[in-house]
Amino acid sequence: MAAPEQETHARVTALVEEYSTTLYRVAYSVTRNTADAEDVVQETFLRVLRHRNKLAEVRDYRVWLVRIAWNLVLDRKRRAKTRPQVDDFEDLARVLPTGELSAERRVITAQRHARILALIDTLPAREREVLLLSAVQELSTVEIALVLDTTESTIRSRLYRARHALAALLEQEGSLQ
Amino acid sequence: MSVHSEIDDTLRRLGSVEPPSGLERRVNLRLQNSRDRFSTRVTRTIATCALAASVALSAVVLNPALRSRVFHHASAPSMPAVNTPRVVAPVSGGFGAASAVHVPVEPVPVQPTPVNQGRGRSRSGRAVLPTGNLAPLPRGVAAPHASPAVSPDPAH
């Protein structure tokens, strides 16, 4: 194998080691399905391998990779029209870290999370996307703006609107119960 | 717990999901498979093309009819033959001046090799110093002073 090819493969392997977890979280925030999220991560790196000649031009690998994964996950969601597995509370309780809670308490918390996630899915697409990306701890507002190809102030205003809309929905639900 | 803190808690948990163990290994394995598949496909394509080219070349070289068709196709008429009138040289005479054949009745005497008769030139064509009359010749067409009238050759 040629030396530049080996170098490229080494670089892609390093990217896998460094960004797999972030990409998995980005994908999981939309799919909420472990297998689908992993598929998205793999597909992202396959795309990277396919466009490896562009690797030298990339300035910010994190933004670039998240953008690829984000587009892939949105495509997948549009095509499959699959509902996130929010109804599977056991799975959600297993996946979402809940700390040292009792089994009963853990299931109740998971139910509450599932309800909030279901309400997030009812938000307008732009606000929902910003809210989900903001959940990924590794991403700053500037990076989210780069991923979504907009300005930082737009991201901030969308985030504000999304949180207030979600809070209003939750309060409305709480008053109804 | 307030609504906003519940939202924060849910988003924080969602954004800190741990991937299943061995994710990086599986991704690298799939990338490796993809590379192998790609290189195998490229090798197979090249081998197939080379085989097809060698078969075609062998067929052309071994088959005389095919060879003549391939190597002489440029000289073959590209248009279908049409019924054009054939031009046959007549036994005597011809259609026109260009194709006419004139055979002299008697042998034509061989003329001496024409040489340059100008001034300052010898018969061999080399330049010589003038020795005779150095006066410049008059301009225009000079007519010979006295030349016997020669009847034209009936053959020409």
When scoring A20, A47, A85, A92 by the number of chain B Cβ atoms within 10 A, the one with the most, hence best to mutate, is: A20
What is the pLDDT at residue A116? Answer: 92
Nearest 5°: phi and psi at B43?
A: -60, -45
Nearest 5°: phi and psi at A83?
A: -85, 140
In whole angstroms, what is the distance from residue B52 CA to residue A30 CA? 49
Quote ipTM for the complex.
0.82
- CB-based contact (8 Å) between A31 and chain B? no
Q: If pLDDT is split at 50, 70 and 90, which confidence band does B46 have?
A: confident
Instruction: Read off the pLDDT of each residue in A88-112 and give the average, rounded to a whole number.
Output: 70
Q: If pLDDT is split at 50, 70 and 90, which confidence band does A4 have?
A: confident
The pLDDT tens digits for A120-131 are 999 999 999 999
Q: If pLDDT is split at 50, 70 and 90, which confidence band does A155 have?
A: very high
In whole angstroms, what is the distance from residue B151 CA to residue B156 CA? 11
* Structural tokens at position A54: 């562009």
The pLDDT tens digits for B29-45 are 998 888 777 667 767 77
What is the pLDDT at residue A165? Answer: 95
Domain boundaries in chain A?
A: 1-82
With beta carbons under 8 A apart, name residues in chain A contacting B24: 16-17, 20
The architecture CATH gives domain A1-82: Orthogonal Bundle (1.10)
Nearest 5°: phi and psi at B121?
A: -130, 140
Tell me the one-letter amino acid at A159.
L
**Is A55:A8 a contact under the CB 8 Å cutoff?**
yes
**8-state DSSP, A56:** G
A21: distance to nearest CA of chain B, Å?
Answer: 6
Above 90 in pLDDT, residue B112? no
Residue B14 to residue A132, Cβ atoms within 8 A = yes
pTM: 0.61
- Dihedral of CA A143/A148/A149/A153: which sign? negative
Q: If pLDDT is split at 50, 70 and 90, which confidence band does B27 have?
A: very high
Above 90 in pLDDT, residue A162? yes
The pLDDT tens digits for B60-100 are 777 777 777 766 655 555 555 555 555 555 555 555 555 55
Q: If pLDDT is split at 50, 70 and 90, which confidence band does A43 have?
A: very high
Q: What is the dihedral of CA A12, A13, A15, A21, to 10 degrees?
A: 140
Q: Considering only the beta carbons, identify the residue of A42, A113, A135 that sits closest to B15.
A: A135
Q: If pLDDT is split at 50, 70 and 90, which confidence band does B154 have?
A: low
In whole angstroms, what is the distance from residue B47 CA to residue B97 CA? 65
What is the pLDDT at residue A108? Answer: 83
Residue A29 to residue B15, Cβ atoms within 8 A = yes
For residue B121, give the 3-state DSSP assignment. strand
**Is B10:A113 a contact under the CB 8 Å cutoff?**
yes
In whole angstroms, what is the distance from residue A138 CA to residue A143 CA? 9
A151: distance to nearest CA of chain B, Å?
Answer: 22
What is the pLDDT at residue B107? Answer: 76
What is the pLDDT at residue B73? Answer: 59
